[in-house]
Structure 1
Amino acid sequence: MASHYKNTFLQQFLDADVASIQPNQNTIIQLRKLLDNSGALLLKNMSLNKDTFHFLSQAISLNTKVNASIFERRIPQAKDAPLFHIPDFPLHTDGIIIQQSTDAIVFYAQHVAHNTSGAGDLILSNHAKAFALMPISMRNVLVQHGLEYLVLDRRPFPFLPEGWFSIPSLRKINEQLYLYLALPFSPEQSEFWQVRIKGMLSATSETFLRELREYLMQDEFFIRHSWQTGDLILVDNRQVFHGFHTTTSDTQIHLYRQNIALL
């Protein structure tokens, strides 16, 4: 497994039945339980096309009536197309900025080549565990101040506020509190959103957000996964943040992803 982590919250699911066109219900239930307990699951050596990936995602969701869209990313996009560059994408709750958060995300690497540099790696942080062990001083800042966001390009989402807006950094699911936030991009790559602590001086806010990032990336909570062809990763968006490392000119990754509801 070409992945950079010391902990084991990204569990590997070994039941080969899940790779079939019609995985049985017992297998899916077992997979769902493992995902709920660990926050993320890795299935190796899968052989899926777009249709079977969609079918499997729906089976995991236990919702075959919803025709959710599949996001497909090719890097490079096509033989003669310019390289589609992915910047370092910070740890975040998927959908938080547009307030359309999903329960879980399914990623599948159909093809990976020339990825020796770690470009395009998936990064994960188990924030449920991190929040439970978080120092009181850090937790108090998130509870008492909260985070504010500024979307730099609103064209895809014109309904978002033009200026800074706040989103509670905690949310309750089944009577349990979870972190609910997005970390900032690096200053040289801040092309999507900016983040600050509400009511704090700029320098103090930047220091806190850097310390929060470092805390969430401790080995106890953090995983960096290098894609291999056939990798399928399930991420519980309610308890695990995700992000990506930047791609390079020689990176070749054909990646599917689909958001699902865990009914």
Structure 2
Amino acid sequence: MGRGPSIEGRKNAEDARRGKIFTKIIREISVAARSGGGDPAGNPRLRSAIDKALSSNMSKDVIERAIKKATGELEGVDYEEIRYEGYAPGGIAVIVDCLTDNRVRTVADVRHAFGKFGGNLGTEGSVAFMFHKVGVLSYAAGADEEKITEAAIEAGADDVVVYPEDGAIDVITSPDAFAEVKAAMQAAGLEPGIAEITMRADNDTKAEGETAQQVVKLLRWLEDMDDVQAVHSNADLPADAWT
């Protein structure tokens, strides 16, 4: 039996992963502050990015510095929002949301990723019509379904989805109602494990076997890229495809 990674090796890997997460969050804070102002009270996108930063244990000093750079109080990098669309193996639709300071580099990296794992980069609008924007509050298995459902309905959520395979629960909202519903759920003592505005497919496409493995490799590769903020797909994958 082979030896697992050393404690030092594992720590280095965790630090690298944490660094990538911080990089993505700082870029999101920067763009949110630049487009909607540096006051989170009047900027829901910035407030959401700050919440994500704090839940990832980012210090308030780092957050404030990112906001000041974005609003011109400190010198900073100007990031551009770009969305790429394409297909993974098996006809799986993929959306890649990026924040970059170098469009040429980013499109080359994204195109390379699709090609490397048997997919292809499409044109603007080629798959976006299959998705819609929603707010999602996710609760892990074992959460109180009745209490969550009651609070979500009272808060004005659009839907509550319970996953029978593991008992996890998602509360679905419109993007406009997301902040209000999240605050109401928190006030009811129901802190979500994950809370975000994201893209969800109208219908999923099943992938199995080797195709599923290639899809997972592509999605993971894209998610690990520094310029990529989020990856969305309509893949319906078996649980063991991620192992």
TM-score (norm 2): 0.25
TM-score (norm 1): 0.24
Instruction: Name the structure, 1 or 2, with higher relative contact order (CA <8 Å, separation 6+).
Output: 1
